[in-house]
């Protein structure tokens, strides 16, 4: 029997696809905090996807058209404005107009979810989020030792997280949600409270309808994640609070007691359409072994299964 090289096989399958009039659904990737659309790691990831799905169109979301400035925009900026900017960016890309799958790394995951709820034009088919903070974070991640940009942002965020400057300018503050201090969060936060439809008076039914229109929402959690607190935010869980002796609320001492997605009011009362989506089998819980965003080859099977499906 003849032996074909993989390159030849890839060519043959490409020709086969073209023959059948089919091509893989395009893919959009929104990078995480500390990364950039132009970082070597992201470009490499895009190449990796193209080996899994030959012929796929991949777009890397950017806020700024420059490696360092784009990285900076992950720390500083107004998230609502960034999501709007990205909605305009995606709407202007001809290859995406029939819809696309999307992958959000870390905070990019909740930002893409915001895109679905608020814009979704063109629409996302499958949304995969890796280590994202869907129910926020209750602590600001520590920084790598010499990462000054990160350290300054962390210090500023911690010192006045619910201040109006932080809520307009520090990205992490806009998904900081301390379950022991919800009153401050509800009144100060204009991003996560909104995309989670947490404020009854301003709840937006379009958000719920749009999220429920996803084919699949694939929620990937990193089993050893020590950056995202709590890591189960990737699965829409949050920490349980208790009343302490002085009548103040505080997070349960071990921080490990969690309200899982199915017990969240957001889910039970279907504020964002998550229950609708889940009840028809549209929510997939998945895990990658390791610390936050240590992808290894964990992405490969997920991308094979949930991205790049053939469109005729």
Ligand X SMILES: *[C@@H]1O[C@H](CO)[C@@H](O)[C@H](O)[C@H]1NC(C)=O
Binding residues for ligand X, rule: CB under 6 A, are 118, 204, 206
Closest by CA to 293, choosing from 170, 130, 183, is 130
Q: How far is the CB of 205 from ligand X (least distance, A)?
A: 7
Q: How far is the CB of 211 from ligand X (least distance, A)?
A: 12
Choose between 137 and 195: whose C-beta lies nearer to ligand X: 195
CA 144, 146, 150: angle at the middle one, nearest 5? 60
Q: Which residues, at least 6 apart from 137, have a Cβ–Cβ distance to it below 8 Å?
A: 172, 175, 176, 177, 228, 229, 233
Token pair belonging to 94: 């001809």
Q: How far is the CB of 33 from ligand X (least distance, A)?
A: 25
Choose between 105 and 115: whose C-beta lies nearer to ligand X: 115
Which residues does the annotation mark as catalytic?
Answer: 106, 225, 292
Q: How far is the CB of 119 from ligand X (least distance, A)?
A: 7
Q: What is the largest CA-CA distance in the chain?
A: 79
Choose between 118 and 154: whose C-beta lies nearer to ligand X: 118
Choose between 158 and 204: whose C-beta lies nearer to ligand X: 204
What is the rounded CA–CA span in Å between residue 159 and residue 224? 27
CA dihedral in degrees (42, 44, 47, 49; nearest 10)? -60
């Amino acid at each position: 029997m003849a032996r074909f090289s993989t390159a030849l096989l890839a060519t043959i399958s490409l020709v086969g696809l073209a023959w059948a009039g089919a091509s893989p659904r395009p893919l959009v990737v929104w990078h995480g905090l500390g990364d950039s659309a132009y970082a070597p790691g992201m470009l490499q990831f895009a190449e990796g996807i193209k080996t899994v799905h030959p012929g796929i169109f991949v777009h890397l979301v950017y806020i700024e058209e420059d490696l360092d400035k784009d990285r900076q925009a992950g720390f500083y900026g107004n998230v609502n404005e960034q999501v709007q900017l990205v909605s305009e960016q995606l709407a202007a890309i001809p290859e995406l107009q029939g819809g696309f799958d999307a992958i959000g790394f870390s905070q990019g995951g909740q930002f893409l979810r915001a895109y679905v709820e608020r814009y979704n034009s063109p629409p996302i088919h499958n949304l995969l989020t890796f280590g994202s903070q869907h129910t926020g974070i209750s602590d600001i991640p520590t920084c790598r030792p010499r990462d000054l940009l990160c350290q300054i942002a962390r210090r500023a965020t911690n010192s006045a997280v619910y201040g109006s400057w932080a809520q307009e300018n520090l990205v992490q503050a806009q998904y900081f949600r301390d379950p022991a201090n919800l009153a401050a969060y509800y009144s100060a936060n204009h991003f996560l409270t909104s995309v989670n439809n947490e404020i009854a008076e301003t709840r937006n039914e379009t958000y719920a309808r749009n999220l429920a229109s996803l084919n699949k929402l694939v929620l990937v959690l990193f089993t050893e994640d020590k950056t995202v607190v709590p890591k189960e935010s990737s699965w829409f869980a949050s920490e349980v609070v208790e009343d302490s002796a002085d009548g103040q609320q505080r997070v349960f001492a071990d921080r490990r007691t969690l309200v899982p997605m199915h017990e969240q009011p957001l889910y039970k009362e279907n504020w964002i359409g998550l229950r609708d989506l889940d009840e028809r089998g549209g929510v997939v819980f998945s895990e990658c072994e390791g610390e936050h965003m240590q992808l290894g080859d964990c992405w490969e099977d997920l991308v094979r299964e949930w991205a790049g499906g053939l469109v005729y």
